[in-house]
Amino acid sequence: MSRKLWYLLMNGLIGLWLVAAAVIVLVHRFVPSGSWLMVHLLLLGAVSTAILVWSQHFADTLLRRPAPGGRAFHGVRLGGHTLGAGVVVAGMVTGFWPLVLAGGILVGLVAVVHAVTLFIQSRGALPARFGPLVWYYIAAAVALVIGVGLGIVMARVALPEGLHDRIYPAHLAFNLLGWVGLTVVGTIILLWPTVLHTRVSDAVDAIARRALRLMVGGLVILGGSVAFDVRPIFALGVLVYLVGVGFVVVEGVRQARRSAQGTFASWSLGAGVLWFVFCTIAFGVVVATAKDWADAASGVGWLVGPFAVGFAAQVLVGALSYLLPVVLGGGPEASRRTARELDRAALYRIAVVNLGIVVYLLPVPSFVKVVVSFVVFAVLLVFLVLAVRAVRGSRVTATPAKAAPADGAAPPASRRGAALAAAVSTVVIALTIGIALDPTAAGLNLTAPAASVTPTGHTTTVEVSMKNMRFNPDVVEVPAGDKLVIRLTNKDDQVHDLVLANGASSGIMNPGTTTDVAVGVVGSNIDGWCSIAGHRLLGMVMTVKMVGGASAEPGPSGAPLPGGHDHGAQTGPSAAQDIDLMKEPDASFEARDAVLPPAASGTTHEYTFTVREGMREVAPGVKQTLWTYDGTAPGPTLRGHVGDTFVITLVNDGTLGHSVDFHAGSLAPDKPMRTIQPGERLTYTFTATRSGIWLYHCSTMPMSLHIANGMFGAVIIDPPGLAPVDQEFVLVQSEYYLGAQGAIADATRIATQNPDLVVFNGYANQYKYRPLQAKVGERVRIWVLDAGPNRPSSFHVVGGQFDTVYSEGDYLLREGGSTGVGGGQALALQPAQGGFVELTFPEAGNYTFVTHIMSDAEKGAAGVFHVTGP
């Protein structure tokens, strides 16, 4: 294989990872682990592949000696990394941790082999001035092994309370500062002056050695701070690391001042390194000023985007823009032609990407962030289009053309001004589109004022806090004609916002944040509320009261304005209008498997529950957007014995705060049952000390909405001496209060306690259409749990009689009771109660099971046992 073809194939692999990342940016809200995928397809996929390709290229060049195994073995390493990264991605998307483990091990193994290969190559090489730079790549590969190992642990292994939050900053540090940072700094030492066409100073050798020692030393210090739980030392490690980077950056600035180059490669590399320095400083500051590891882990989340896009992506496309013409070859003219192609609209592209990242980091509405991020990724992907054009152009014989500017020459001032103006215009247009999609969140007044007043020219500033589903104070008095600024602080442990009837809005606010809401001139009373799902219904409202003036009638209020986030309120017709319980589901419909397997062996049971949001059919032709544990409502059924320990890792991959409360455990709720925000996780450990079938559910307020929208499930703890039976089934009764088609539950309807559907295992009448199977003479145990949130249950099998009834931890009737011929006809349960019944079907036929609260049975809480002969 020719050198040119080799590099085309390898860089094509990088391009495929970039395209995959761009696709996920567009659809991340509709795929599992979308936020995780956006970051890891870029970093684990494209950037890591580029590091494996080009670090080996530079090692061969610096050492003047090929690596052991040559390109064939290099290709094996690249194939191994690609397979491992792909398996990790598949494991995260499917939630199947063994895939994450296998893929992570393969990625780590490739990193070890890469480091060993470079070490052997350097040991056998003749002395070379810049040969020691290869040690940057070796150290980076070691850092990747550590970073990947920490990532595997966080993805699945049950961790003691708080340990995940402690590990997360180290995971970021070893992957971003170690694997990517060490590689970039080790490369930029020579690549930067090469791109700028400047001389490498005599001091670079000493700078490179000093920087490597400091950077590795900093990583060791911060790693030790995590291992020994000494958080302030983490910031010291980052500081030491930064000092090392600083030596290289200062030398790079000197070289830039001596150069007149103005290419895309130089601008992109320079911008990327500046973002790297900024993000690393911010990383250290956030961890140093956090009150604990949990605060630090939550606080550094905003840095992942600029680290990944501002630093890693810009360095990647900048380096490739310079290196592709070199490896494509074809002679000086062909290389210049290729370079010019890759340099198209250079200043415009650089300006859009970096202005876009700045806007993204500002406290702008979420739709603005979405639109700007699309624009930034689109402009970054222009590189791939230009790269394809450049490759095609390199095969064409050059024809005489008009004189072009010398390669690398900065464009004339007029062109620079036009490019910058076009870039600013692009970002402004993106801002405008984002604001147009959600004008209320942007604070635009979409309603006419209720009364006209003469502005006083005075501004009144008031402080309002949000906590425990209340605004404090909830009435604000403002003189007529004054401008009002509300300094709003979220003192709660979950997200809130403030939307005012005149269109002013705070946007969604994370816990602990403060923002100023510019209300404008007050000419009437103005109602305000929190638009987060169900919060308004729970009383999270406030009023701006005008004092004085001709009129103080309330301004427009009521339904949220367009673009609001009040998911608990419904604006379209209810999907209840589409209920037809005589209609059968499609032939492809698969009912939830109600068969209950026996408890797993062992005394410790580890699970990961990922909160996911998605549209599900809940009755034929009726769809709702449900909040779920692991994509199903009810969530997974857990089973064990008295004395077993359950370790649950809750991962919030949704868009709102969520939590989990396991009734099967007895422990203080403060930490394990706390609400976690999107992107966060916690570990919930409990020991089952009592038997029964126990409810688990989301306990984030409003709890009724979270349960009604799908966040519940069952834990079965077998009573000691539980008799064996031929078959066991589990049925969880719940209710739907339907919003519009495809929307979430209607919070107002939930308060009426009059459900539209009552169902077993999440779908109306599903076991009528797909009956449960049993045989004559078999002993059948049916576990039943009433998840509520409101309605009781009275479980009954038509034509059957129970000889055993178990409710809330004890037997009401056991094998016919004291007389031996006693029987039961219904298992009565209130919400959050459960038990089981046992029976034997006497003859073949279809036995309907229902809740004997008949109006609820007629709303979908019914099914069939299809019993055949022995």
Confirm or deny that 663 is annotated as ligand binding. yes
> CA end-to-end span of the chain, whole Å?
68
In the numeric block, the tokens 């009383």 are attached to 539
737-751: buried (b, 16+ CB within 10 Å) or exposed (e) per residue?
A: bbbbbebbbbbebbb
Do 343 and 383 meet the contact criterion of CB atoms below 8 Å apart?
Answer: no
Confirm or deny that 565 is annotated as ligand binding. no
Confirm or deny that 279 is annotated as ligand binding. no
In the numeric block, the tokens 């290289």 are attached to 248
For residue 21, the Cα-to-chain-centroid distance in whole angstroms is 14
Do 216 and 185 meet the contact criterion of CB atoms below 8 Å apart?
Answer: no
Report the distance separating Cα 344 and Cα 351, nearest Å: 13
Do 715 and 664 meet the contact criterion of CB atoms below 8 Å apart?
Answer: yes
Q: Taking Cα atoms as reference points, which of 661, 695, 709, 674 lies closest to residue 534? A: 709
Report the distance separating Cα 367 and Cα 510, nearest Å: 17
Confirm or deny that 40 is annotated as ligand binding. no
Both tokens assigned to 442: 């942007």
**Run of H or E residues at 614:** strand 604-619
Inter-axis angle of helices 264-289 and 163-172, to 10 degrees? Answer: 160
CB atoms within 10 A of CB 325: 24
Report the distance separating Cα 51 and Cα 105, nearest Å: 18
Helix, strand, or coil here: 284?
Answer: helix
- What type of residue sits at position 317? V
- Assess whether the previous peptide bond of 634 is cis (omega < 30° from 0): yes
Confirm or deny that 711 is annotated as ligand binding. yes
Report the distance separating Cα 707 and Cα 610, nearest Å: 16
Both tokens assigned to 278: 């900024």
Pairing of strands 499-500, 810-813: unpaired
Phi, psi of 432 (to 5 degrees): -65, -45
In the numeric block, the tokens 């397809």 are attached to 41
- What type of residue sits at position 282? A
Phi, psi of 821 (to 5 degrees): -125, 10
**Run of H or E residues at 697:** strand 692-697
Confirm or deny that 697 is annotated as ligand binding. yes
**Binding site residue list for Cu cation:** 658, 663, 697-698, 706, 711, 852
What residue numbers does the annotated binding site cover? Answer: 658, 663, 697-698, 706, 711, 852
